[in-house]
Amino acid sequence: MYHTSDLERNGYQSRALSRPSNSMKGRTMANFATQRKNMVESQVRPSDVTDRRVMTAMQSVPRETFLPEDMAAIAYADTDLPVSLKSDAGVSKATLLAPRVFGKLVQHLEIGEANVVLDIACATGYSTAILSHIAQTVVAIDQDPAMVAFAAAAIEKCGIDNAVVMQRPLVEGHADEGPYDAILINGMVQHVPPALLDQLKDGGRLVTIEGQGGFGSATQWRRLGTTFDKRWLFDAGAPALTAFDRPREFVF
């Protein structure tokens, strides 16, 4: 697993801030706790999320920890949150899905407490943290080294010890740690590669959003022996994960 020092090796730039007083820290933490509760009660629960484990996890995990400091004030906004991290390699970009959409996706994973979950396109690690509160083990991957380092540091800061974050190509998953009971792809994809479905256990579920142009539907794939059953769940928009774009067909 990556540690905080990996941020420096990846050239992640942080700003030195004056140290707040203990009373200020206390007020800030209390304010974030209130925002977390409001997020669950006003965004997640009304969106047909009924799994108490999902709601408990989302009310427990400090979403602001998984964002750059200058974004903490909007951590619980009812929208997708674009995130940018500056490093020596340039600017890394990702998106945290809107809480109501993310909560519904996690619910449809149908995670059991003894399950092993693969979290694809984990970005800053918020999704990994939520899944770790529900599953036994979480394997998270992202293809961007700056995102991986940030996510690993945030997860370590939260004291989570049943999740690991690795740098891997998104479309490849991580078969070495499989097969998995559940796989989450955080974003919109044009298609789900068969190689990822093959990493599911018999009865395992893969949940993502399929579509293009910003419009799509959440889907659940379930492995049944050597076949896969696909269910359309609900309409949803999300930023595209271009790694999952279909190859262009050339006509001569």
- Concatenating the DSSP letter of every residue in 81-100 gives EEEEEEETTEEEEEEEPPHH
Whether the CA torsion 169, 171, 176, 179 is positive or negative: it is positive
What pLDDT is recorded for position 21?
45
Cβ contacts of residue 3 below 8 Å, gap of 6+? 152, 153, 156
Q: Is 159 within 8 Å of 132 (Cβ atoms)?
A: no
Domain count, the chain: 1
Q: Is 164 within 8 Å of 188 (Cβ atoms)?
A: no
Q: How far is it, in rounded angstroms, from Cα 181 to Cα 202?
A: 8
221 inside domain: yes
251 inside domain: no
Asked whether the predicted pLDDT for residue 24 surpasses 80, the reply is: no
Asked whether the predicted pLDDT for residue 89 surpasses 90, the reply is: no
Rounded average pLDDT over 145-170: 98
Sequence-distant contacts of 132-138: CB under 8 A, at least 24 apart: 132/160, 132/162, 132/163, 133/53, 133/56, 133/57, 133/60, 133/61, 134/53, 134/54, 134/57, 134/106, 135/111, 135/162, 135/181, 135/182, 136/162, 137/162, 137/163, 138/162, 138/163, 138/164
92 inside domain: yes
249 inside domain: no
What residues make up the domain containing 44?
A: 5-244
Cβ contacts of residue 161 below 8 Å, gap of 6+? none
What pLDDT is recorded for position 252?
53
What pLDDT is recorded for position 8?
40
Q: Is 146 within 8 Å of 211 (Cβ atoms)?
A: no
Rounded average pLDDT over 189-214: 96
What pLDDT is recorded for position 246?
84
CA angle 130, 135, 137 (to 5 degrees): 100
What pLDDT is recorded for position 9?
38
What pLDDT is recorded for position 2?
39
Share of the chain above pLDDT 90, in %: 82
Q: How far is it, in rounded angstroms, from Cα 122 to Cα 211?
A: 19
What pLDDT is recorded for position 203?
98
